[in-house]
Amino acid sequence: YEGAQRFLPRERDLSALREASADCRGCDLYAEATQTVFGEGSVRARLVMVGEVPGDREDREGRPFVGPAGGLLDRALADAGIDRDDVYVTNAVKHFRFTRDDRASRRIHKKPSRSQIVACRPWLLAELDTVKPDVVVALGATAAQSLFGKDFRVSSRRGEVLELPGPPDLPLAVATVHPSAVLRARDSERDSAYAGLVADLAVVAKAAS
Ligand code: URA
Ligand code: SF4
């Protein structure tokens, strides 16, 4: 597999990108997943939120952030004063990665590998180039590593307004935790994890205005 680049269409509007992404075979993930889960939102959105990889629900529905993590993200955006209509949501990797639980036929989410993140990056860069947001937000380590490179550490740089490596016309960027990390936090830590996410998103709101 050589990555997504050769599957990109000549026209760069969102519907052409979405349509072409349905046939991507840039890495091995297309083979087991149900469908490509492309980003969603207005081309005029001022903010782009980048998650990790679609989950089980997203894989079946073909839309990003429609499961529990998406519910938490919507709530955090509202609490940070961000209008959901001003947000385009997508993922660093666009096909679901999972392992099967032997007994139940449950599919268990698996983190994408470094090579899968790199393979899928052309789709994310094309989305950013088309939407041209004021700020792009990396939700968690996978998105942050796709945008900033493999040595980036969310824990030490979260909530800062940063410049992306690459050409100068790229949006500003902010890294924060993934909404799923808030859902997974132990009871005693969930409220503060959520407050941390909202505080980082408030930085994003300010940087975009
Ligand atoms: N987690 C993600 O990173 N992306 C989704 O679309 C859903 C859950
Ligand atoms: Fe293409 Fe990305 Fe899917 Fe891999 S995960 S097949 S690179 S769309």
Q: What is the ipTM of this complex?
A: 0.96
pLDDT at residue 31, as a whole number: 97
d(CA 95, CA 149): 20
Number of neighbouring beta carbons within 10 Å of residue 125: 17
- Which of 29, 52, 114 should be mutated for ligand 2, with most atoms under 8 A from CB? 29
Say how many CA atoms lie within 13 Å of 47 toward its Cβ: 25
Is this model's pTM higher than 0.90 or not?
Answer: yes
What ligand is nearest to the CA atom of residue 96? Answer: 2
Q: For residue 38, what are the CA distances in angstroms to 45, 91, 124, 176? A: 16, 8, 9, 21
Lowest mean pLDDT among 79-93, 127-141, 165-179, 191-205: 165-179
Query: What percent helix, strand, coil does the chain show, rounded to 5?
Result: 45, 15, 40
Mean pLDDT (the chain) is 96
Lowest mean pLDDT among 20-34, 48-62, 91-105: 91-105
pLDDT at 1 over 90: no
pLDDT at residue 124, as a whole number: 98
What ligand is nearest to the CA atom of residue 95? Answer: 2
Cβ(112) – ligand 1 distance below 6 Å? no
- Which of 18, 21, 30, 35 should be mutated for ligand 2, with most atoms under 8 A from CB? 30
pLDDT at 167 over 90: no
Strands 47-51 and 135-139, by their bridges, are parallel
How far does residue 106's CA lie from ligand 2's centre (Å)? 22
How far does residue 92's CA lie from ligand 2's centre (Å)? 10
d(CA 199, CA 172): 17
Cβ(39) – ligand 1 distance below 6 Å? no
* Host H or E run for residue 148: helix 141-148
Taken in order 83, 117, 25, 56, the sign of the CA dihedral is: negative
